[in-house]
Amino acid sequence: MPHRWLLLLACFWVLFMLLVASKFITLTMRSPEGYGIKQGLLTVLPELEKMTVTEARKFHIDSPPTVDTLKNMTHIDLIHKERLELLRSVCRNGSFRNLSHSGISKFVLDRIFVSDRHKILFCQTPKVGNTQWKKVLIVLNGAYSSIEDIPENVVHDHDKNGLPRLSSYSMEDVQERLNSYFKFLIVRDPFERLISAYKDKFVHNPRFEPWYKHNIAPVIIRKYRKDRTEIRGGLQFQDFVRYLGDPNHKFLDLQFGDHIIHWVTYVELCAPCEINYNVIGHHETLEEDAPYILREAGIDELVSYPTIPPGITKYNQSKVEYYFSKVSKRDIKRLYDRFEGDFKLFGYKEPTFLFP
Ligand SMILES: *[C@@H]1O[C@H](CO)[C@@H](O)[C@H](O)[C@H]1NC(C)=O
Ligand SMILES: *[C@@H]1O[C@H](CO)[C@@H](O)[C@H](O)[C@H]1NC(C)=O
Ligand SMILES: *[C@@H]1O[C@H](CO)[C@@H](O)[C@H](O)[C@H]1NC(C)=O
Ligand SMILES: *[C@@H]1O[C@H](CO)[C@@H](O)[C@H](O)[C@H]1NC(C)=O
């Protein structure tokens, strides 16, 4: 059947030309006027693996939109619209008033990073992949030309990395930026985030920050360890939960200073009811949300989010069950009462499996 082969060959030819053409379009669009931003990933990965999530999406957008992509785009737009509507309705709901409002304090302004060049504000919520977003913004602000060029110790050094905090501006400039810039934050399941903070700061402590184990842990243990005969070294998860669920936790928070950013609520970190965020990203759907944020912020052609290792963003209920199996129902309930605002504002399900 030579006809069929010819047809097949022709199809391949057309497909090949389309691929070449779209690659060409992507590349031209990617070389931005004088920013010199290299697409970090492209420098290391072999040809075939270059198609990261962002890349794949771009490919779809660069080619003529099919009914399918249009449907999908509307779908993700809709999800984000619903997230914002939920947030606003919970903010208005009087029964959560104390749990959802925090005021735009200096503490909040310290959490927000600024790109004046691209008119973006990003509120940092630790343990939710924020380092990667900070790297994206550092590159956008022009201090480094690609994500791999940023030394690890510079990412969090805001005197050197060209990523100022909103708190370093005058009140007038703060107001102007809050009113007109694109604003976003990323959240994840509140309890899973606390587990991650506990492991990262009190168990593994990979960046060697000795004050968590040596200064903070003993203070929490002294006040909150139930069984005084328990002398196992180090802070246990149940001690940590008892501290966080204590309505008088603020007393210790004051002693711990800014280190509490790893475990205070999103409400306290980012004031989501006072600041009109444009997009709320969810860690659990970061594969879709990261390119969406870049697109909405108008920077998707300048930079892309680093490759997300498969599986790491997924909510892991068995992990949550495992950690909380050591905590009393009463302490879990108290913890939930404090974090209920975060659950409700961002649409996370009440973890009823923990206190049936
Ligand atoms: C659209 O979304 C569906 C389900 O989320 C997915 O299976 C499909 O591959 C997507 N199509 C395109 C063209 O992205
Ligand atoms: C406020 O929240 C409570 C508890 O979830 C709910 O029962 C109530 O309907 C909400 N009120 C409004 C006005 O949405
Ligand atoms: C909110 O907090 C205030 C002061 O701390 C308190 O008087 C009030 O009862 C609280 N409201 C609710 C609904 O919990
Ligand atoms: C969930 O967490 C548990 C305990 O940390 C781990 O052993 C397991 O591999 C995780 N499951 C997934 C799907 O990541």
pLDDT, tens only, 134-159: 999 999 999 898 998 999 888 888 87
* Shortest-distance atom of ligand 3 to CA 94: 13
Does residue 62 have a pLDDT over 70?
Answer: no
Q: List, in order, residues 6 or more apart from 319 with CB less than 8 Å away.
A: 192, 195
Q: Is residue 12 part of a domain?
A: no
CA of 72 to the centre of ligand 1 (A): 6
For residue 317, what are the domain limits? 76-354
Does pLDDT of 19 surpass 70? Answer: no
- Whose Cα sits closest to atom 12 in ligand 1? 69
The per-residue pLDDT for 33 is 34
Which of the four pLDDT bands, split at 50, 70 and 90, describes residue 285?
Answer: very high
Q: Is residue 162 part of a domain?
A: yes
Give pLDDT, residue 1.
Answer: 52
Atom 14 (ligand 4) nearest CA: 316
Establish if 297 belongs to a structural domain. Answer: yes
Long-range contacts of 94-100 (CB under 8 A, 24+ apart): 96/340, 96/341, 96/344, 96/345, 99/265, 99/267, 99/338, 99/340, 99/341, 99/344, 100/267, 100/272, 100/273, 100/341, 100/344, 100/345
Nearest CA to 141 among 115, 120, 123, 164? 115
Distance 69 CA to ligand 1 centre (A): 7
Kindly report the pTM of this predicted structure.
Answer: 0.77
**DSSP letter assigned to residue 202:** I
The continuous run of DSSP H or E covering 4 comes out as: helix 2-30
Tell whether 47 is covered by a domain: no
128 and 186 in contact (C-beta within 8 Å)? yes
> Which ligand has its closest atom nearest to the C-alpha of 192?
4
Place of tokens 């996370």: 348
> Does residue 186 form part of some domain?
yes
| C-alpha 178 to ligand 3 mean position (Å) | 28
Tally of domains within the chain:
1
Mean pLDDT of 289-305: 94
pLDDT at residue 232, rounded to an integer: 67
Pairwise pLDDT comparison (258 vs 39), residue with the higher score: 258
Does residue 332 lie in a domain region?
yes
Mean pLDDT of 301-307: 90
Residue 28 forms part of a structural domain: no
